[in-house]
Amino acid sequence: MPHRSSPLFPALLLLVFTSLEAAPLPVPKPPATGAKAYILQDFDSQRVVAEKDSSQSIEPASITKLMTAYAVFTELKNGNITLEDKVTISEKAWRTPGSRMFVEVGKQVSVKDLLKGMIIQSGNDATVALAEYIAGSEDTFAALMNRHAEELGMTGSHFVNSTGLPGAEHYMSARDIALLAARLIQEFPEYYQWYSQKEFTYNDITQYNRNKLLWRDESVDGVKTGHTDSAGYCLVTSAKQEDMRLISVVLGTNSENARAEASQALLNYGFRFFETHKLYDGGNQLATSRVWKGDTKSVSLGTGSALYATIPRGQYKSLDASMTIDSRITAPVSEGKPLGMVHVKLGDTVIAEQELVALQAVNEGSFWQRIMDEALLYFE
């Protein structure tokens, strides 16, 4: 379909170039981490600012529990379970090796307490209990996890259990983990707050969150640790400074301190050398375009959701925004129909793109309007 290119006029731009005066900073290479794989990604723009083997599928250990949590949160959202539901602890859950919440066989524990035991204490017993409650068995729950992964576009992940205990066909990629962490934060803010909780007491036993960065860095508010002998020490971290949130994933380091230091180094790098700006709010008119054979002659165009860009610090004034719009738009036009693209460039590099969509529906015009427009189109 032919398109036309059109600059975005200053009145339509939300780029207030005069607001920043800092000189551009050169961006050095990312810090060395000693990790098997890592990724550092902006939450809003989804731009990857640093990575190493981020698409490689490797053992994730207890990082797996992010997907377990996503599945449980989805069941809560859909009204299939509640936080107050009581779960009877099976012998299998009680016997699951590794980190524990210390639930007891035959006892009933609330979904809320089990979630906190899984999130804060990384309890494998709590995790299996939740999986069995939702799906009947852990194997069936793993199939549910894989379905969610497919729906989220996690192409480098596959699950055979809910806990992250080693399995030949159990793996995730750093890129998939970052995507999943972002969706947890975006979709379930009311539950995400538990990832910043430093301790949890159950059955008179207090255990502490293993994420050391919660004590070291006030901007950190999650997310999850993981460790097995074969996976090494892993950490997913999210931190927010002012309006910028970063997500880091570090997999396969050799100690608790190493995973914390690697994660801190990546976050410091991201916040020091990059900045994120919201360029447009979703639903705001950025342009209008002629509509043929409709009950109105024009349609308003904008982005369906907010558009963000992550750029090197000091480069804000160098951004260049333009748009392409379909050259011939014919009614009917449904609200939300893609009719073009917004392009944001830094130099010769496109750093952000998003569809321009119809902000309102345009119905077919009358018989005479359609005939008249058909005649006019003949001479276009």
Confidence (pLDDT) at 23 = 54
**Three-state secondary structure call for residue 48:** strand
89 and 206 co-located in one domain = yes
Are 330 and 363 spatial neighbours (Cβ–Cβ below 8 Å)? no
DSSP H helical ranges for the chain: 65-77, 91-95, 111-119, 124-135, 138-152, 174-187, 189-192, 213-216, 256-273, 367-378
Q: Which of 232, 228, 200, 230 has its CA nearest to residue 214? A: 200
User: What pLDDT is recorded for position 206?
Assistant: 96
Angle (nearest 5°) at CA 304 between 300 and 308: 115
Q: Are residues 58 and 207 in the same domain?
A: yes
Q: Quick check: helix, strand or coil at residue 174? A: helix
Cα–Cα distance measured from residue 77 to residue 74, given in angstroms and rounded to the nearest whole number: 5
Residue 368, classed as helix, strand or coil, is: helix
Q: CA 132, CA 272: separation in Å to the nearest integer? A: 44
Inside any domain, residue 239:
no
Cβ-based neighbours of 71, under 8 Å, separated by 6 or more: 134, 141, 144, 145, 148
Q: Which residue has the tokens 């690697």?
A: 262
115 three-class SS: helix
Q: What is the pTM of this model?
A: 0.88
Helix (H) / strand (E) containing 4: strand 3-7
Q: Which of 36, 57, 65, 212 is catalytic?
A: 65
Task: State how far the Cα of 263 lies from the Cα of 259, in Å rounded to an integer.
Answer: 6
Q: Are residues 11 and 58 in the same domain?
A: no
Q: Which of 200, 220, 240 is the last residue of a domain?
A: 220
Domain boundary among 197, 220, 243: 220
Pairing of strands 274-280, 338-346: unpaired
First to last CA, the chain: 16
* Bridge partners for 52 per DSSP: 38
User: Is the same domain home to 127 and 180?
Assistant: yes
Give me the residue label for tokens 């447009």.
280
What whole-number distance in Å separates Cα of residue 65 and Cα of residue 123? 10
Is residue 287 within 8 Å of 23, Cβ to Cβ? no
Looking at the structure, do residues 89 and 16 belong to the same domain, yes or no?
Answer: no
Q: 347 and 216 in one domain?
A: no
Q: What range does the domain containing 122 cover?
A: 53-220
- The number of domains in the chain is 2
State the Cα torsion 331-334-335-338 to the nearest 10°. Answer: -90
CATH number of the domain residue 321 falls in: 2.60.410.10
Instruction: Tell me the chain's radius of gyration from C-alpha atoms.
Output: 25
What are the Cα distances from residue 304, in Å, to 92, 322, 340?
Answer: 47, 17, 12
Tell me, yes or no, whether 180 and 286 share the same domain.
no
| Buried-state track 34-66, b at ≥16 Cβ within 10 A, e below 16 | ebbbbbbbbbbbebebbbbbbebbbbbbbbbbb
From 122, 157, 248, 289, active-site residue:
122
Of 45, 57, 62, 90, which residue is the catalytic one? 62
What number of H helices and E strands is found in the chain? 10, 20
**Domain annotation covers residue 358:** yes
Instruction: Say how many C-beta atoms besides its own lie within 10 A of residue 108's C-beta.
Output: 11
CA neighbor of 337 nearest in space, from 299, 297, 377, 298: 299
- Any idea what the CATH number is for the domain that residue 75 is in? 3.40.710.10
- Please name every residue paired with 247 in a beta bridge, in sequence order, or none if there are none: 41, 238
In contact, 75 and 187? CB cutoff 8 Å? no
Same domain, 57 and 14: no
pLDDT at 331: 85
186, 179, 175, 196: which is closest to 251 by C-alpha? 175
- Report the distance separating Cα 56 and Cα 266, nearest Å: 19
**Residue 83 and residue 48: Cα distance in Å, rounded?**
35
User: pLDDT tens digit string along 57-107?
Assistant: 999 999 999 999 999 999 999 999 999 999 999 999 999 999 999 999 999
Whether 267 is covered by a domain: the verdict is no
pLDDT of residue 373: 61
Residues 201 and 289 in one domain: no
Residue 232 in domain? no
DSSP letter (8 states) at residue 281: -
User: Is residue 210 in some structural domain?
Assistant: yes
Evaluate whether residue 256 is within a structural domain: no
Told to judge if 45 belongs to the known catalytic residues of this protein, a careful annotator would answer: no
Residues of the chain with pLDDT below 70 are 1-25, 373, 379-380
Residue 234 lies in a domain: no
Which of 125, 160, 122 has the alpha carbon at shortest distance from 140? Answer: 160
Give a yes or no: residue 84 inside a domain: yes
